[in-house]
Amino acid sequence: MTTDELRDAYLDFFVSKGCVRRPSDVLVPNDSTVLFTPAGMNQFKREFMGLGDPTFTRATTCQKCLRTGDIDNVGKTAFHETFFEMMGNFSFGDYFKREAIHWAWEFLIKILKLDPERLTITVYLDDDEAYDIWRKEVKVPANRISRLGEDDNFWPAGAPTHGPNGVCGPCSEIFYHGNGPKEVEIWNLVFTQFNRLGPGELEPLPKKNIDTGMGLERAAACLQGVPTVFATDIFKPIVAAVAQQLGVDYVADGPNGTRIRRMADHARALTFCIHENVKPSNEKQGSVLRRLLRRAVIDAYQMGQRDPFLHELPTVVAEVMGRPYPELKESVPRIRNVIREEEEQFLRTLDNGLKRLDDLFRKTKAAGSDTIGGKEVFDLHQTYGIWVDITDSLATEHNLRIDRAGFDKSMEAHGEISRPMKGAAAVFATGPLDTLKSSYHHGSEFLGYTTTEAEGKVIGILEQGKLADSATAEADGAPLVVLVLDRTPFYGESGGQVGDLGEIKGEHFLFRVTDTKKDNDFTLHIGQVIEGTVTLEETVQARVDPERREAIRRAHSATHVLHHALHIHLGKHAQQAGSKVEPDRLRFDFANPEAVGRERLRSIEETVNERILRAEPVSWTTMPISEAKSLGAMALFGEKYPEVVRVVQMGDFSRELCGGTHLDNVGQAGLFKLIGEESVAAGTRRITALTGKAALEYVRQEEDLLAEVASTLKVPTNLVAERVSALLEEIKTLKKQASQRRTDTTPRVSADDLLAAATVLGDVKVITQLVDGSSPDELRQLIDVLRRKAETGLAVLLLTVADGKVSLAAGLTPDMIARGLHAGLWLKDVAPVVGGGGGGRPDLAQAGGKNPEQVPAALEKALESIKAKLAS
């Protein structure tokens, strides 16, 4: 049975048992307790609490998941992965233990036709009910059922004794015993039947739930009779592609087997994450991606690969995973661009970083120690991009460890400690809106597609995060109040569109709305009570600022037209990666490997305005998401959509999934003016544009500026460019003449003179010198000459003063960088002395300052700093 067939068989089986088939949640959920979706149950947390969709009480999914807790085991063990798929079936106060156990056995024996003799069961020590079902009803022999304690067969692990308080329950695990030496856990059945009140105090829940998880790849390996997930039909082509890219044969137990498997796993994880618009960075989800990518690059580097290669693998991943996830294929160009740019950036510093790391390993062992200092680990992280977990993993291969506490101290000193994620206790935490949801399951009804004014009822008041019965006008500076209405014309910020402003009036109060958000299906009207007192159940009139809403509609509809124009002029790869829609202003992020040239930008702007001139109608309708996708409606990757979606259509040229407010026809946008294009991340560009009145005002300001320049230059506006060119040429000539005069009159210092005057520190020559009459470019040129002449053992920092400002430049020979020195960090020590700042690469860096009188002190600091760095 193939992996795709297994996935279908599982879902079809549980649909036959009355479960509603739900799509996989996104990898990055709207959930502050996790970075990535770690299990199938996460998208159903509200259902487990009785606060979710009441239309179904049992469900089944195949969920995309990503975990990094056991990342060091990936490639080393048979079944550890970062990205994986988790099949699950769930019950929310519906079926319970008996059905879950019987159905699991039925699926394994009758559908998958596994040999029952190869299956063993574990149950919680005190769960007699589960034991009896397995033993007396399913007829599993007693010698194949084990009773284990709360650390092994309870969720969360150890909860009865150690907590946390809240929903918990015993579990039963199913193991498959293949031909290998070790059994494989293929299914975990969790019976959430208790509410923990304290140590050993478990209160039965009024409604008991079922949460199960079967690892797709693990189960596939068992069915296909292969020893690891990397030998399954869904992984083999990726493993083979890695080996092919590296020009080697894959031998599972060979010296590079672990590395190749790890690279295959990480390539798969990167492909799915970047597809959902997660980008490598130093924060949150992005930091996980950067860690995975850099670990894979280091693996390849250690096998002799010096060129980018990882970006070639998403094509293979998309082909292998194409049946369940066909949308991957259209993202491949964007994914490749993001990975390649990140690879190239890392490879530029990796060689020196690994040399530094090897030197640390050698020195640590020579000193008779087994621990690499935290400061050194931090320097590798900060200077060369070799992250602490990677250093730790590589150190383990040399039977060394790192000083993690020392590293954390260095990170804290530089303000780079990330806040930890919330723990297990927060998984089922509830807030005031959850309480409100128990009475109003459907949240707030939005009326704003057709009106900016409507009557509603106050169903919730929040003051300082707590539900209240009323709120009274207070003096300015009082905490903000949140009103929740049963129906409202106010649009809550979402989908990139900002929230509405306006006012809510009752018989005895006036409330000014200064922002509107969405949360938990409710519209949150944020602001202050200006007059009187607002109370629950009061009937009110809600009025949105109509002019501001109209300006937002113009910008939002123009955003869709811009998306269409980008596809025309750049290609289908220019997929939306994010947006911000404000009154008559929009910001649109999209995939593209390079800057969009001036001529293309002009063509894009012209296409948008041509569409506006045609004034084609804008319409919308709701439909099942499957139907919308079949009609070609564009969706934002990484966004979670409901089963029924709103599709906005413009003429016959644009169809997108969108919940925002739009114009009646495109012509109402009036004018579209593109005012900026820039890079925001690897492979992602950003366009900023104006519409309507803001666009017209921008054009007027440009006209006024042009007229003012023309008046200053004393030429007509049509001759401004010509006159400016002539002036620039004149300035260029004058600068050349001035430079020549300076060259003729200023005694120049030579590289040989500087080398002869260098301070010698052991085997290193240090030059710290003021060079009069030189430009910043000349300082850099002089440093290049010095490094060529010296070849090794040189650290140089030069200063020059001109027009009351100080310019600094520092450079190092390659062997100095390999010893852990960094020109940019050296300058960061020195530049503040002259009232400046700057930085740069490890080999060459520049800075500026504004206090020339401090140059002697800066020279002293430069020598003092390099002495300290060499000593450490």
How far is Cα 350 from Cα 843, in angstroms, rounded to an integer? 14
Annotated binding residue 560 = yes
For 578-594, how does the pLDDT look when each residue is reduced to its tens digit (9 = 90+)?
Answer: 899 999 999 999 988 88
What was the pLDDT predicted at 765? 95
Query: Which DSSP string do the residues of 777-803 spell out, in sequence order?
Result: HHHHHHHHHHHHHH-SSEEEEEEEEET
Pairing outcome for strands 794-802 and 539-544: unpaired
What was the pLDDT predicted at 431? 67
What was the pLDDT predicted at 741? 61
- The tokens describing 502, both together, are 């306006």
Task: List beta partners, residue 654.
Answer: 650
- The tokens describing 47, both together, are 């259902």
Task: List beta partners, residue 785.
Answer: none
Average pLDDT over residues 770-788: 89
How far is Cα 424 from Cα 400, in angstroms, rounded to an integer? 32
The domain 3-226 is classified under which CATH number: 3.30.930.10, 3.40.50.10490, 3.30.465.10, 3.20.20.70? 3.30.930.10
- The tokens describing 576, both together, are 């939306």
Q: How far does Cα 845 stand from its chain's mean position?
A: 30
Q: Which amino acid is at 625?
A: I
Task: Kindly tell me if the per-residue pLDDT of 238 is higher than 70.
Answer: yes
Task: Kindly tell me if the per-residue pLDDT of 547 is higher than 50.
Answer: yes
Place of tokens 């929009």: 586
Average pLDDT over residues 72-77: 91
| Helix intervals (H) in 746-770 | 751-756
If you compute the radius of gyration of the chain from its CA atoms, what whole number of angstroms results?
32
| Helix intervals (H) in 492-633 | 546-569, 598-614, 625-630
Q: Are 188 and 201 in contact (CB under 8 A)?
A: no
How far is Cα 39 from Cα 213, in angstroms, rounded to an integer? 8
User: What φ, ψ does residue 309 adopt, rounded to 5°?
Assistant: -145, -25
What residues does each domain of the chain span? Answer: 3-226, 235-413, 435-544, 554-699, 751-871
Task: List beta partners, residue 801.
Answer: 806
How far is Cα 619 from Cα 204, in angstroms, rounded to an integer? 51
- Assigned architecture for domain 751-871: Roll (3.10)
What confidence category does residue 739 fall into, taking pLDDT thresholds of 50, 70 and 90?
A: low
Residue 814: count other Cβ atoms within 10 Å of its Cβ. 15
Q: How far does Cα 204 stand from its chain's mean position?
A: 39
Strand order in the sheet with 844-849: 759-761, 764-770, 794-802, 805-812, 844-849, 837-840
How far is Cα 795 from Cα 812, in angstroms, rounded to an integer? 5
DSSP state of 55: T
Q: Are 104 and 187 in contact (CB under 8 A)?
A: yes
Share of the chain above pLDDT 70, in %: 96
Annotated binding residue 273 = no
CATH code for residues 435-544 = 2.40.30.130
Least reliable range by pLDDT among 497-501, 740-744, 834-838: 740-744
DSSP state of 327: T
Task: List beta partners, residue 533.
Answer: 472
For 81-100, how does the pLDDT look when each residue is reduced to its tens digit (9 = 90+)?
Answer: 999 999 999 999 999 999 99
Contacts for 223 with CB less than 8 Å, ≥ 6 apart: 1, 6, 112, 114
Helices (H) and strands (E) in the chain, counts: 25, 34
Mean pLDDT of the chain: 90
**Please, is 492 exposed, middle or buried when counting C-beta atoms within 10 Å of its C-beta (0-12, 13-18, 19+)?**
buried
What confidence category does residue 747 fall into, taking pLDDT thresholds of 50, 70 and 90?
A: very low
Tell if the pTM clears 0.85, that is, is over it.
no
Residue count (the chain):
872
For 789-841, how does the pLDDT look when each residue is reduced to its tens digit (9 = 90+)?
Answer: 998 999 999 999 988 899 999 999 999 998 889 999 999 999 999 998 877 88
Average pLDDT over residues 131-136: 98
DSSP state of 418: P
How far is Cα 360 from Cα 395, in angstroms, rounded to an integer? 10
For 609-640, how does the pLDDT look when each residue is reduced to its tens digit (9 = 90+)?
Answer: 999 999 999 999 999 988 988 888 888 776 77
The closest alpha carbon to 594, from 564, 568, 573, belongs to 573
What was the pLDDT predicted at 423? 42
User: Cα–Cα distances in Å, from 871 out to 177, 402, 787?
Assistant: 58, 21, 22
How far is Cα 26 from Cα 65, in angstroms, rounded to an integer? 9
What was the pLDDT predicted at 803? 81
Q: Are 809 and 776 in contact (CB under 8 A)?
A: yes
How far is Cα 370 from Cα 347, in angstroms, rounded to an integer? 28
Annotated binding residue 556 = yes
User: Cα–Cα distances in Å, from 195 out to 129, 211, 467?
Assistant: 18, 15, 24
For 692-716, how does the pLDDT look when each residue is reduced to its tens digit (9 = 90+)?
Answer: 999 999 999 999 999 999 999 999 9
Q: How far does Cα 143 stand from its chain's mean position?
A: 48
CATH T-level fold of 554-699: Threonyl-tRNA Synthetase; Chain A, domain 2 (3.30.980)
Annotated binding residue 177 = no
Q: Which amino acid is at 246?
A: L
The closest alpha carbon to 689, from 862, 824, 557, belongs to 557
Pairing outcome for strands 184-198 and 576-582: unpaired
Q: How many CA atoms lie within 13 A of 360 on its CB side?
A: 29
Q: Are 112 and 9 in contact (CB under 8 A)?
A: yes
What was the pLDDT predicted at 381? 81
Average pLDDT over residues 180-186: 85
- The tokens describing 321, both together, are 């995973």
The end-to-end CA distance of the chain, in Å, is 60
Task: List beta partners, residue 167.
Answer: 195
Average pLDDT over residues 479-503: 95
For 407-440, how does the pLDDT look when each residue is reduced to its tens digit (9 = 90+)?
Answer: 888 877 765 444 444 443 444 455 678 778 778 8
What confidence category does residue 642 fall into, taking pLDDT thresholds of 50, 70 and 90?
A: confident
What was the pLDDT predicted at 604? 98
Task: Kindly tell me if the per-residue pLDDT of 687 is higher than 50.
Answer: yes
Higher pLDDT: 407 or 235? It is 235
